[in-house]
Amino acid sequence: MAEEELQTYRRCIGQQLEELELLSSIYCAPGELHMLDAGVVADFNEFLEEDKTKPATSLLSHLEYVVKLTLPGKQCVEVRVELPHLYPLLEQARVSVYTALLGKSKEQCLKNDLEKYQSERRAEDAEPYIFQLLSWLQEHLEDLFKRPASEFEVQLVASPDPQQPPVSQLERIWIYSHHIKSTAKRQELIRQARQLELTGFSRPGKPGIICVEGEAANVQQFWRTIKALRWQKISVVRNEPRQRKRGFEDFSEQLFNAEEGVMNMGQFIRFLEAHGFGYMKSELFGLA
């Protein structure tokens, strides 16, 4: 693994632990902050304290915890936080809110507002933001509880105008690059994909593999944007138009136990097969 990439991991893991320590001092009442796997903290500390050449592939688990927010009337809402290894520099936190107190229309509103909040935070800087997000959630939930459900139902009933053209079909493209090593490029890939609401993955190292899927216009915009960056070699190896559904839930960076930037082929092929794309091993590498 390249030294620059390893340092990026070390910086992210260090920031995650510092943020967790801060949150533990704020949400310190019994049951207010619950680690889903406390052993991950020890693993992270070991990664930071041991030989600085230890590969990031030794990190087997993510930091996950649940924070219980108390609202007026002693009502509680659970917020589950999962931090990818490259949060906050290159990846977004995965945040879910669990409560039976909101109706369907308010839940949808909360989900949309949460996604918008995270996108805006990500565009502003690459600093940890979970405490700010929790504070925003506390205020936003209190506001949602006060507002009548009919206000949100009207928004949902405002269905698309039948005169509007149908929603564009989904498209998926597979991109092969000689290598992807630059932290700036890696960050730009993630930023562009999320800004265009695309799902898929990028695999840094040598070779570099990128898969994006979403609205056809957005997929083509992504390709035009990243193709304009400086590459030794980059090309679309397969285009899959008119897709009915997506194969990935979000866009993330995948490493597949890279060693010195070289892909672990077996892990990558298992990843493709698990998502129903086993046929791509032939397209990408000429394997039967």
Q: Give 49-91 as a DSSP string.
A: HS-TT--GGG--S-EEEEEEEEETTTEEEEEEEEE-TTTTTTS
Mean pLDDT of 223-247: 90
Architecture of domain 170-286: 2-Layer Sandwich (3.30)
Confidence of residue 74 (pLDDT cuts 50, 70, 90): confident
What average pLDDT does the chain have?
84
Classify residue 170 as exposed, middle or buried by CB count within 10 Å of its CB (0-12, 13-18, 19+): buried
Confidence of residue 285 (pLDDT cuts 50, 70, 90): confident
Q: Beta strands 199-203 and 75-83: pairing type? A: unpaired
pLDDT at 4 over 50: yes
172 bridge partner residues = 213, 240
Contact 263, 207 (CB under 8 A): yes
Mean pLDDT of 40-60: 77
- Mean pLDDT is highest, among 210-214, 221-225, 249-253, 266-270, for 210-214
* Structure tokens belonging to residue 98: 């669990």
pLDDT at 225 over 80: yes
> Alpha carbon of 212 to those of 42, 90, 158, 173, 225: distances in Å?
35, 17, 31, 6, 13
Instruction: Compute, in degrees rounded to 10, the torsion defined by CA atoms 250, 34, 134, 122.
Output: -30
Q: Where in the chain is the domain with CATH 3.10.110.10?
A: 1-151
Contact 167, 159 (CB under 8 A): no
**Model pTM?**
0.55
pLDDT at 189: 92
d(CA 26, CA 14): 19
Of 118 and 130, the structure prediction assigns the larger pLDDT to 130
pLDDT at 157: 43
52-66, 77-91, 154-168, range with the lowest pLDDT: 154-168
Q: Where in the chain is the domain with CATH 3.30.70.100?
A: 170-286
Tally Cβ neighbours within 10 Å of residue 183: 15
pLDDT at 5: 78
Q: Quick one: residue 153, left, alpha or beta (phi over 0 = left, psi -120 to 50 = alpha)? A: alpha
- Mean pLDDT is highest, among 60-74, 121-135, 159-173, 239-253, for 239-253
Of 285 and 189, the structure prediction assigns the larger pLDDT to 189
- State the fold for domain 1-151: Ubiquitin Conjugating Enzyme (3.10.110)
Contact 141, 77 (CB under 8 A): yes
How many CA atoms does the CB half-sphere of 217 hold within 13 Å? Answer: 2
204 bridge partner residues = none
Angle at 210 between CA 284 and CA 120, to 5 degrees: 170
pLDDT at 261 over 60: no
* Structure tokens belonging to residue 170: 């989904």
3 state SS of 43: helix
pLDDT at 257 over 90: no
Render pLDDT for 88-110 as a digit per residue (tens, 0 to 9).
988 888 898 887 777 778 888 88
How many CA atoms does the CB half-sphere of 19 hold within 13 Å? Answer: 23
Q: How far is CA 92 from the centre of its chain?
A: 5
Q: Beta strands 75-83 and 63-71: pairing type? A: antiparallel
Share of the chain above pLDDT 70, in %: 86
